Structure 1
Amino acid sequence: MTTTTHHGFNSPGGQGPSPLGQPETIKLILDRSQRPNRTVPIRRALLQREARDGTKSPGALAALVRRSAKRPLDLYLLLSAVTSGGDFSVTEWSTTWARSVGIFDETAGTAAVSRAWKVLKELQLITRARGEGGKSTLTKLHEDGSGRPYTTPGEGLGDPYLQLPYEYWDRGWHNVLSLPGKAMLLIASNERKLRFTLPQERMPGWFGISADSAGKGIRELSEHDILVQLDDEWYDTLKTRSGRASRPVYGLRPPFTPRALGEPVTDEAATEISSGTAPKE
């Protein structure tokens, strides 16, 4: 009997049986989550923490961007997808996680994944323990980095969260986007609006992302037609001689358009720039 091995994108070559490819591994991980709406809920606290007195500060996302921790963010998002109930933990081999980020060498993959989990553990986003059969058990903690146990977001008032659709992986954006692109996708999704602004000069204070990184991420999302400029708005400022300046108004294209907020961004809406827009803060 002859066995044929099929290799997908990013799959290793060679003779005989080979490890499962990256897209197939990710598909199995996502299918395991059994989320009926195929979206991952992520609290705003990952991007921006808010103290009881209302004071806001950058969340763990800023630390990941500063540390150029693309792989830890990739693994965290996948872990968030699969830990959908119970004690919000999953037990799996390191080689499975390594394949999900495109590493097929067992030794190198295990070491790379271990380093990534260490970063997330230092940020108090996860705990890690030995599991059965040489696997590791990973448990998701609250996104605010406090070390508190994780709970399902949105169960009470004042618990805002964004939704990352599975198409992020289905369409390969996890491989295409850079770390600034991924960070700005999360920040744009956090707006949960059909129309919003992304003032680059405010990103360091709001989210701990440098203006340069924010600009790079915005340009990248625009080049890939994920983010589209819908309009311009005027606002008051003392940084110009006239006291007025304009900034772009953006929208996210499907599948990243916030759900249940009305009609998604269309080609017509993206190209129609209205005139005489009223000044806004």
Structure 2
Amino acid sequence: MTTTQPGSNSSPAQAPTPLGQPETIKLILDRSLRPTRTVPIRRAFLQREAGKGGTKSPGAMADLVRRSAKRPLDLYLLLSAVTSAGDFSVTEWSTTWARSVGIFDETAGMTAVSRAWKVLKELGLITRARGEGGKSVITKLHEDGSGQAYTIPGEGLGDPYFQLPFEYWDKGWHNNLSLPGKAMLLIASSQRKLKFTLPQERMPEWYGISADSAGKGIRELMKHGILVQVDEEWFDTLKMRSGRGCRPVYSLWPPFTPRALGEPTIGEETTTGISSDAAPKE
């Protein structure tokens, strides 16, 4: 007598539906265990400084903008959120990172993520090594692109940083903002003040961002209510016949209002009253 095993005539189980992008990002952010739900980012990522009070030059972000490297920037910011302790590395499948940037085809996702990590490695922002089970070990390096080991920012004077809140992902701004919009959000956040100016004509020199890209990013942030004009200020200039020019003064709206800024560095205004003696919690 032939015995039929239970389920022997049933069809093979279907592959599970891959986790969605929002759910993947949530799991990654939850893994960080950051009590403040903010990501500390050194200003050096945007603007390098050669020694204390030295010459300033554009940072690694300028290269990402010039390359139209939106995906590497997205992965870098998310990596910065999750690498919060130890050797500041994370071991994960490429497919997980691919879902975090909205790619669900396994082959295409692995290729895209590999290319993004390559860009970040070339800029001296990460190292990459093979991990167990087909995973990759991504280690965050210092934001200035020097290839030096990462350390927690704000532990000493002269190490300015700013905070990117998790609402950047929670509210979908990682998807809704263009690359210029993201760049100007980071630049605005790095001002470390409640009120500040963003002179577009100085962006190429200061941050390596073209004036056109800066203007596009500013307009986009204002359209979404992230950046608002709160005032105007007069300044001295020989480019105007009168010797005086006028430019807008901006503020970032919650949740991007500055917080947990650390000790101000020499030359920074301290009238905003938003400084803290504590280094960011990693």
What is the deviation of 1:262?
5.8
Alpha-carbon distance between aligned partners in 2 of 1:84 and 1:184, rounded to the nearest angstrom: 25
SS of the residue corresponding to residue 138 of structure 2 reads strand
* Secondary structure at the counterpart of residue 108 of structure 2: helix
Map 1:105-254 → 2, pairs under 5 A: 105-254=105-254
Q: CA deviation at 1:221?
A: 0.2
Q: Which residue of 1 aligns with 2:39?
A: 40
Tell me, in whole angstroms, the C-alpha distance in 2 between the residues paired with 1:144 and 1:258.
Answer: 21
CA deviation string 1:113-145 (max 9, x = no partner): 000000000000000000000000000000000
| Alignment match, 2:7 | none
Runs of 4+ in 1 over 6 A off after TM superposition: none
Q: Which string of whole-angstrom CA distances, capped at 9 and with x for unpartnered residues, describes residues 205-252 of structure 1?
A: 000000000000000000000000001111111101111110000000
How high is the TM-score relative to the length of structure 2? 0.87
- In structure 1, runs of 5+ residues without a counterpart are 1-14, 264-281
Distance 2:24 2:259 in 1: 27
Instruction: State the structure with bigger RCO (CA 8 A, min sep 6), 1 or 2.
Output: 2
- Paired amino acid for 2:76: Y
RMSD: 1.2
Distance 1:56 1:236 in 2: 22
Cα displacement (A) at 1:17: 2.2
Q: Which residue of 2 aligns with 1:22?
A: 21
Letter in 2 for 1:164: L
Q: Distance in 1 between matches of 2:156 and 2:189?
A: 20
Aligned counterparts, 1:253-264, within 5 A? 253-259=253-259
Q: What is the letter of the counterpart of residue 72 of structure 2?
A: P
* Offset at residue 42 of structure 1 (A): 0.3
1:192 deviates by 1.0
Specify every segment of 5 or more residues in structure 2 that has no aligned partner in the other structure, as ranges: 1-13, 261-271, 275-282
- The equivalent of 2:86 in structure 1 is 86
Secondary structure at the residue paired with 1:235?
Answer: strand
The structural deviation recorded for 1:16 is: 6.2
Task: Give the Cα–Cα distance (whole angstroms) in 2 for the partners of residues 50 and 210 of structure 1.
Answer: 20
Give 1:248's aligned amino acid.
P
Letter in 1 for 2:42: R
Q: Secondary structure at the match of 2:18?
A: coil
Scaled by the length of structure 1, the TM-score of the pair is 0.87
> What residue in structure 2 maps to residue 276 of structure 1?
none
Task: Give yes or no for the alignment of 1:70 onto 2:70.
Answer: yes
SS at match of 1:32: helix
Q: Distance in 1 between matches of 2:195 and 2:15?
A: 52
Question: Take 2:50 and 2:244, find their aligned partners in 1: how far apart are those partners?
Answer: 33
Q: Residue type of the partner of 1:66?
A: R
Distance (Å, rounded) in 2 between the aligned partners of 1:239 and 1:159: 34
**Counterparts of 2:185 and 2:51, CA distance in 1:** 27
